[in-house]
Amino acid sequence: MRRRRRIATALYACAGVVLGLIILVPFLYVLSASLQTESELIRRPPPIVAPNPTVDNYDYVFTGAVPAAYASKELLRGTVTQDVRQIPKGLRNSFIVALGTVLINLLFGTLAAYTFARERIRGLYAAFVFILGSRLLPSVAVAVPIYVGLRSMDLLDSKLGLVLIYSAFTLPFSVWVLTLYFSSLPVDIEEAARIDGCTRFQALRHVVLPLAAPGLAAIAAFSFLFSYSEFLFALFTTETSRSKTIPVIIASVSVNPDASYTLIAVGIVLSMIAPILFALVFRRYITSGLAASLTRG
Amino acid sequence: MADVGFSQVNKVYPDGTTAVRDLTLEIDDGELVVLVGPSGCGKTTVLRMVAGLEDVSGGEIRVGGRVVNDVDPAERDIAMVFQTYALYPHMTVGENIAFPLKIAKLAPEERASRARDVARLLGLEAELDRKPRQLSGGQRQRVAMGRAIVRQPQVFLMDEPLSNLDASLRFQMRAEIANLQQRIGVTTIYVTHDQVEAMTIGNRVAVMRGGELLQLGDPQELYDRPSELFVARFIGSPPMNLIEGELSREGGYAVAVGSRVVPLDEAEAGERGALDSYVGRSVVIGLRPERLEDAAVASDVPAARRIGGLVTLRETLGSDVLVHFEVEGALPLSGQVRAAAVAAAVDPVELEPAADEPGLLFIGRFDPRSPTGQQERVEAAIRPGAVQLFDPETGAAIGRNSGSRSRA
Amino acid sequence: MTTAAADRGQARARKSRLGRRTYSWATLAPVLVIVGVFTLVPFVYAAWTSVHRHVLVLQGRPFVGLRNYQNAIEDPLFGDSIKTSLIFVGVSVPLVTLAGLLVALLLNQRVRGFGILLVLVLLPWAVPTVSAGIMWRLLLHGDFGAVDGFLFRIGAIDSYIQWLSNPTLAMASVIGVHAWREFPLAAILFLAGLQTIPPDLAEAARLDRASAWQRFRYVTLPLLKAPLLIVLVYETIVALSVFDLVYVLTGGGPGSATTLFSWFTYTATFKYLNFGEGAALSFIMAAVLLVCIVVYMRVVRLREDVT
């Protein structure tokens, strides 16, 4: 029996290693590719590890210093492209837009969810269903009308426009999760706070929000990841580097026939840093947020 | 420190149910009044109305002379101990206790020192830095009390504070709360469904049923002179024995208890003529188990004041013995009476097997020397003044029990 | 109770109710406005557009009834893209569900070091789809890709496979990358479900001498119904709306091999600038999604009654 257990554990461990590789290898490859020169990379087969790792590619993206390796223009894809210089701005835009969306979710989502959880006024259920139901519509259906609408509000090619769109898409989920969270908090604690002298807002600040912090963290993570990665709407509402987000930029770089693979790799790596960090830091809240929506949904 | 007054207070819910009906009652400064009754009687609703957690549908509630109907809970200067304690899980014990002071914007040093004083008073000093989830039930209860005490409010409200504790702890905490309240001297309204708790803790007890206040008085008064059937049956353990029988008058008054006719003494008959309208009719007769005794032991009681029965069960308590016996010649109770009797039971399953037939089975709390064994015939002697009579339709006490229902 | 007091009480109650009502709707207003303006209004506008001729380069927007829908359905690519999407959904949803379940079962075992895996497993899902897509495009490159390089090195193939230029392989690649990206979410949901299973249930089953498979079937599986439903519904919606991946991996090609229905809708709207038809297609898609959701809920609920 114990031998069977040990064999089983060994098998599990193997499976675990395989899983880890499946997940990690693509990331490691692209990281390694970003640290190579084009000539090193374009080979059959490509090197496993970067033979002479260099940060020249990153240098170019941020400062415009052309890497030495591109001095010779022998290879077809050896040219260096200006597109890639837009990456830093893209990162900045994505970050700002994502942050804005998170703030709106935290602020307005919390207010609305608290009302849904605690008040019993006629029409609240209808409003709740309305908000949640909005997510049943596929984004493509509202793409053109949103474009027209943004144009009329003079919000095309703007970070604010993106923030509003992404908020509309993330608020339903946030409100849903937060309402569940608030509902699960026992009412008598809030009553005790009111008797202890708290106004509604004081009760919210001192008692309810600290207890709902895990839910808030989960919401922040989801909203951030969604806004940062969104592509379709960013694609057709943005035009200039004023508001182009990183997915749009690296996508256009990747379809640019002049772009070298190493630079594309740099773009990918840079685009993934923020989401990965966020996911790592908020990991616990993401999983518990999902679990909560599961058990109480 | 303040008095609390209710004038015709009503609570009606949007769906039409009336939770509290025309409550009028005055609580004096420093008093501990207990609201007691079965679940659903409205006692918690009353408490929550005083706290401001429920709106008042009609009437006025006054604290310290001020009408508080529309005053926010935060402004009422009252403190409440919840049944679930409602401690803030993310704060330490010290922070929990000091929280109201923090909202009142007291300086940190003063907050800390007052919290410490209260903690010392309640024996919680060692726990100040721990979180509620690390404490035992009794400790949590004390933290809840501490949080209420620290504010030095005008009124304490307690919502079944002991019901989540186990029996032995409840016994101990009962005394502690009573002592504490006397020492601090704050007006307290205490809600419970346990009549023993109500009797032992309260200066005065208010018995409620179906949203109405049935009787208000000090514990002994409720025991000796219940104003109506439900109160009579609710107070006292084991509950009062009830049976219906005809009231007759030949010379003196007498009632038929089963197959016996028992004469009433002066105390039981009450004021002259009070019982006249009931002569020849059926009345409800109440006999407390404590006022019955095995005739073999209480030989001084005249034979006429005895009822006979067949013993079904003997429960030895050590100090007494509870003897259950079937009363000879007894008939089942009529519907209304039975309903009141059953409603007064805390948990009908707890009562003796024939709980739905109260009136056939009596319980006597006899001297342990009582010799009558199970399946034997017993003669139960009725002590003087033990018979209480009630109107079979209204349930109101008749004869000597026609005291006032509430003190205005 | 006097009527005056009753009136006063009622007036007070009404006032406080009014105050609470105002407060409640005030807190809901921002969310309702944002969602309404950016979801409901566009939806209504899209519905309107779908029954009008709205082509960017043409003047006038006459009402055309259901002609947009008709044209859309009659387009040869319509049927093709539906077929393609069906294949895609039919393969990827079970694939993602199964992979998620297996990974969840694996991660539920107490093996040292699996804590790291729990962290890693989030990564494919957390990074932008576009980034993941481009990453895999590099890996699957027919000339210089690392996947081909690896397979070549270990001798599994002797000439490079054109993952993205061969119609069947392109579809497989899209499905594969999609699954790589989506399985973490399924895994986490299933894991959460597994961890709510009280350990005494499993113990009782073991004591009853149930085999591992029996234990799985009668104890674990029934309790996984909730996550299963959520995973199925959500992944179906995602699979039907896939856009980012197609854009960066294949652009719909080669030919129309990976032209999923969502891609077809996109090109109709943005490449040919036929907004009317695009809107019509979107509504068809929305209807399909709704049907899927309803079907799922019925099926899973049915199973509950049977078992």
Question: For residue B372, how far is the Cα from the chain centroid?
Answer: 33
Contact at CB, A206 and B99, closer than 8 angstroms:
yes
Q: Measured between CA atoms, how close is A45 to chain C, in angstroms?
A: 4
Q: Are residues A211 and B100, on separate chains, in Cβ contact within 8 Å? A: no
Average pLDDT, chain C: 80
User: Alpha-carbon distance B406 to B201, whole Å?
Assistant: 19
| Cα–Cα distance for residue pair A246/A92, rounded to 1 Å | 8
Determine the Cα–Cα distance for residues A110 and A174; give it in Å rounded to an integer. 8
- Whether B53 has its CB under 8 Å from any CB of chain A: the answer is yes
The terminus-to-terminus CA distance of chain A in angstroms comes to 41
Amino acid C5: pLDDT: 55
Which of the 8 DSSP states describes residue B125? Answer: G
The single-letter DSSP state of residue C63 is B
pTM, rounded to two decimals: 0.81
The SS3 call for residue A12 is: helix
Whether the pLDDT of residue C1 is over 90: the answer is no
Is A188 in Cβ contact with B82 (below 8 Å)? yes
Cα of A80 to nearest chain B Cα, Å: 56
Determine, for residues A114 and C286 on separate chains, whether the beta-carbon distance falls below 8 Å.
no
Determine, for residues B74 and A194 on separate chains, whether the beta-carbon distance falls below 8 Å. Answer: yes
- Rounded Cα gap, residues B197 and B192, in angstroms: 7
B59 contacts on C by Cβ (under 8 Å): 1, 5, 9
d(CA B270, CA B256): 18
pLDDT tens for each residue of chain B, 408 residues long: 588 999 999 999 888 888 999 999 999 999 999 999 988 888 999 999 999 999 898 899 999 888 998 888 888 889 999 999 999 999 999 999 999 999 888 899 999 999 999 999 888 888 889 999 999 988 999 999 999 999 889 999 999 999 888 888 888 888 888 988 888 889 999 999 988 899 999 899 999 988 999 999 999 999 998 998 889 988 988 888 888 888 888 878 888 888 888 888 877 877 767 788 888 888 888 899 999 998 888 878 888 888 888 898 999 999 999 999 888 877 777 777 777 777 776 554 333 445 455 447 889 999 988 888 888 888 889 888 888 888 888 888 887 744 444 332
Across the interface, of C123, C241, C289, the residue whose CB is closest to A276 is: C123
Q: Pick the more confident residue, C45 or B115.
A: B115
Cβ–Cβ below 8 Å for C131 and A272: yes
Taking the C-alpha atoms of residue A205 and residue A211, their distance in angstroms, rounded to an integer, is: 10
Q: Are A131 and C32 in contact (CB under 8 A)?
A: yes
Chain C residues with beta carbon closer than 8 angstroms to that of B58: 1, 5-6, 9
Q: Do C16 and B55 touch (CB under 8 A)?
A: yes
Q: Which chains have 3+ CB pairs within 8 A of A? A: B, C
Taking contacts as CB-CB distances below 8 angstroms, the residues of chain C near B69 are: 9, 12
From chain A, pick out residues whose CB is under 8 angstroms from the CB of B90. Answer: 210-211
Report percent pLDDT > 90 for chain A: 24
Q: H-helix or E-strand containing B378?
A: strand B377-382
| Whether residue C34 has pLDDT greater than 60 | yes
Nearest residue in chain A measured CA to CA from B87:
A189
Sheet holding B292-294, edge to edge: B292-294, B377-382, B306-316, B321-327, B361-366
Contact (CB<8Å) C134/A247: no
Q: Is B1 on the interface with A (CB under 8 A)?
A: no
Facing residue for B103 by CB, picked from A186, A188, A197: A197
Question: In angstroms, rounded to a whole number, what is the distance separating the alpha carbons of residues B168 and B204?
Answer: 24
**Contact call for residues A268 and A229 (beta carbons, < 8 A):** no
Q: Which of A14, A57, A140, A293 to mutate to test the interface with C (most CBs of C within 10 A)?
A: A140
pLDDT of residue C78: 83
Please say whether the structural domain A84-295 has been given the CATH code 1.10.3720.10: yes
- CB-nearest partner of A211 from B53, B72, B89: B89
- A194 Cβ under 8 Å from any chain B Cβ: yes
Q: CA torsion A92→A97→A100→A101, rounded to 10°?
A: -140
Predicted local distance difference test score (pLDDT) of residue A77: 46
User: Inter-chain contact A198–B147, Cβ cutoff 8 Å?
Assistant: no
Closest CA to A246 of A54, A29, A66, A83: A83
Measured between CB atoms, does C36 come within 8 Å of chain B? Answer: no
Q: How far apart are CA A77 and CA C141, in angstroms?
A: 14
Mutate to test the interface with B, among A195, A198, A202, A206 (most CBs of B within 10 A): A195
Rounded to a whole number of angstroms, the distance from the CA of B107 to the nearest CA of chain A is 16
pLDDT more than 90, % of chain C: 16
**In B, which residues are within 8 Å of A205 by CB distance?**
none
The distance of C14 to chain B (nearest Cα, Å) reads 10
DSSP state of B37: -
Res. C274 pLDDT band, cuts 50 70 90: confident
Number of Cβ within a 10 Å radius of residue B234: 28
C185-210 as b/e, with b when 16 or more CB fall inside 10 Å?
bbbbbbbbbbeeeeeeeeeebeeeeb
Question: Cα-flanking dihedrals φ and ψ of residue B61, to 5°?
Answer: -115, 130
Other CB atoms closer than 10 Å to residue A42's CB: what's the count?
Answer: 19
What residues have CB less than 8 Å from A188, skipping those under 6 apart? B82, B83, B84, B86
Q: What is the pLDDT of residue A101?
A: 96
Q: In this structure, what token pair is assigned to residue C43?
A: 């939806």
User: What percentage of chain B's residues is helix, strand, coil (to nearest 5)?
Assistant: 30, 30, 40
Which residues of chain A lie closer than 8 angstroms to B52, CB-CB? 194-195
B147 CB within 8 Å of a chain A CB: yes
Task: Residue B70: list chain C partners with CB under 8 A.
Answer: 12, 16
CB-based contact B10 C9, cutoff 8 Å: yes
- Pick from B53, B86, B100: which is nearest to A197 by CB? B100
Closest CA in chain A for residue B88: A189
| Complex ipTM tops 0.90 | no
* Residue B375 to residue B354: CA distance in whole angstroms: 16
Q: Could you tell me which of B267, B271, B243 has the C-alpha nearest to residue B256?
A: B243
CA angle A254, A259, A261 (to 5 degrees): 75
Beta carbons within 10 angstroms of residue A35's beta carbon:
22
Three-state DSSP at B4 gives strand
pLDDT at C4: 59
Q: What is the pLDDT along chain A (297 residues), one digit of tens a residue?
A: 677 778 888 888 888 888 888 899 899 888 888 887 776 677 666 666 767 777 777 777 777 666 655 555 444 444 556 677 788 888 999 999 999 999 999 999 999 999 888 888 788 888 888 888 787 777 777 887 888 788 888 888 888 989 999 999 999 999 988 998 888 888 999 999 999 988 888 888 899 889 888 889 999 999 999 999 999 899 888 888 888 899 998 888 888 776 778 888 888 999 999 999 999 999 888 888 777 776 655
Question: Number of A:C CB contacts under 8 A?
Answer: 276
Residue B369 has, within 13 A of its CA and on its CB side, a CA count of 5
**A195 contacts B103? CB cut-off 8 A:** no
For an interface test with A, give the residue of B76, B83, B84 to mutate (most A CBs within 10 A).
B84
Find chain C residues with C-beta within 8 A of B22's C-beta: 1
pLDDT confidence of residue A81: 66
Residues from chain C that touch A146, judged by Cβ atoms under 8 A, are 38, 42
